[in-house]
Amino acid sequence: MAAVLRFVNRTCFGSRMGLQCLSLSRPVAVAKLVQDGASAGKTLPERVKIVEVGPRDGLQNEKTVVPSEVKIHLIDMLSEAGLSVIEATSFVSPKWVPQMADQVEVMMGIHRRPGVSYPVLTPNLKGFLAAVNAGAAEVAIFGAASELFSKKNINCSVDESLQRFEVVTKAAKEAGVPVRGYVSCVLGCPYEGKVSPDKVAQVAKRLYSMGCYEISLGDTIGVGTPGGMTEMLQAVSREVPVNALAVHCHDTYGQALANILIALQMGISVVDSSVAGLGGCPYAQGASGNVATEDVVYMLHGLGIQTGVDLPKLMDAGAFICCSLNKKTSSKVAQATCKL
């Protein structure tokens, strides 16, 4: 199996990012860790819910535009693999995200397995209405813990974005549609650098209060390490019950599984991941992004934790989408597993 060498032009931004990130891995005093750790010594969850974000978060960050039939087949394979939540598509304007232009076809085309949820992203009321019209039974909204990130990403402040979302959650409540909330940049921001755990907690609390049943905390640029994860989860779990929290770790610096492990130790039992590790990091060209579902499931099963996922079938789904994208998997489990 020959290795494919990809020579990538790295950007100046990446350089600033890189150096900035080296100092972002902020030391947490050991004494504090002990004190924090004492409250974290709980038993690991017996069961973890995996939220599969490959078809949306993953594909959205892949350059190659994928045909609708491929997306639909991927989602069907993921359903077959036993995943209970599969983020299917996004109701943002196709102008902004061409990859998700076939949002309606995808929603109509997928084979919905009983007991499986297929949430879709809805950035505003318009997107929400279109989503429900297309058959969505669950939606997701994205806040950020960093003002600069919010400004650059969706051109408004965090507060303004939350007000926008309140419109969505209100409509969703009336329509009986559950809403999942995401907070980006929980362990670091590509523009602001350090992010305060209390700011993350505030945003998470707002999303939870407005009706989100679950809040997914995203280490958007993957700079977090277990100490920072611990601090952040402690702050957030003072405002939102821990069983309404999820972690969305990026593996850009290889820290994802360690961060997930510490989160499990702190009582988290919902983990976001992306089949084959789809979706690179838009802030560090050539770097990886989402953690690979196969690798997460491998760790969880090794720990004796149930997920309901059939790992070989999951790997088939990963192989399928990588073949379609003509790219190598980012999952180490997949790389290590022999194909004859």
What amino acid positions are annotated as catalytic residues? 281
Binding flag, residue 302, a copy of itself (CB under 8 A): yes
Min dist. Cβ of residue 148 to a copy of itself (A): 20
Taking the CA of residue 24 as centre, how many other CA atoms within 13 Å lie in the half-sphere pointing to its CB? 26
CB of 322 to a copy of itself, least distance (A): 13
Contact 168, 136 (CB under 8 A): no
Q: Looking only at Cα atoms, what is the longest distance across the chain?
A: 55
Q: Does 278 bind a copy of itself (CB under 8 A)?
A: no
Q: Are 289 and 252 in contact (CB under 8 A)?
A: yes
| Contact residue for a copy of itself among 262, 271, 278, 325 (CB under 8 A) | 262
Question: CB 305 → a copy of itself: shortest distance, Å?
Answer: 8
Asked if 299 touches a copy of itself (CB under 8 A), the answer is yes
**What's CA 74's distance to the chain center, in Å?**
18
End-to-end, the C-alpha distance of the chain in Å comes to 11
Considering only 78, 154, 278, 311, the residue that binds a copy of itself (CB under 8 A) is: 311
The rounded distance, in Å, linking the Cα atoms of 128 and 115 is 22
Restricting to residues 186-245, name those near a copy of itself by CB under 8 A: 222, 224-228
Q: Does residue number 252 form part of the binding site for a copy of itself (CB under 8 A)? A: yes
State in angstroms the smallest separation of the CB of 196 from a copy of itself: 17
Q: Is 308 in the site for a copy of itself (CB under 8 A)?
A: no
Give, as ranges, the residues between 25 and 64 that touch a copy of itself (CB under 8 A): 25-30, 33-34, 37-46
Strand 179-184 relative to strand 214-219: parallel, antiparallel, unpaired?
parallel
The answer to the question of residue 11 lying near a copy of itself (CB under 8 A) is yes
Compute φ and ψ for 228, nearest 5 degrees.
-65, -40
Q: Which of 53/287 has CB closer to a copy of itself?
A: 287
Query: CA dist 73 to 7, 41, 70, 97, 186, Å?
Result: 31, 42, 5, 20, 33
Find the shortest distance in angstroms from Cβ 163 to a copy of itself: 34
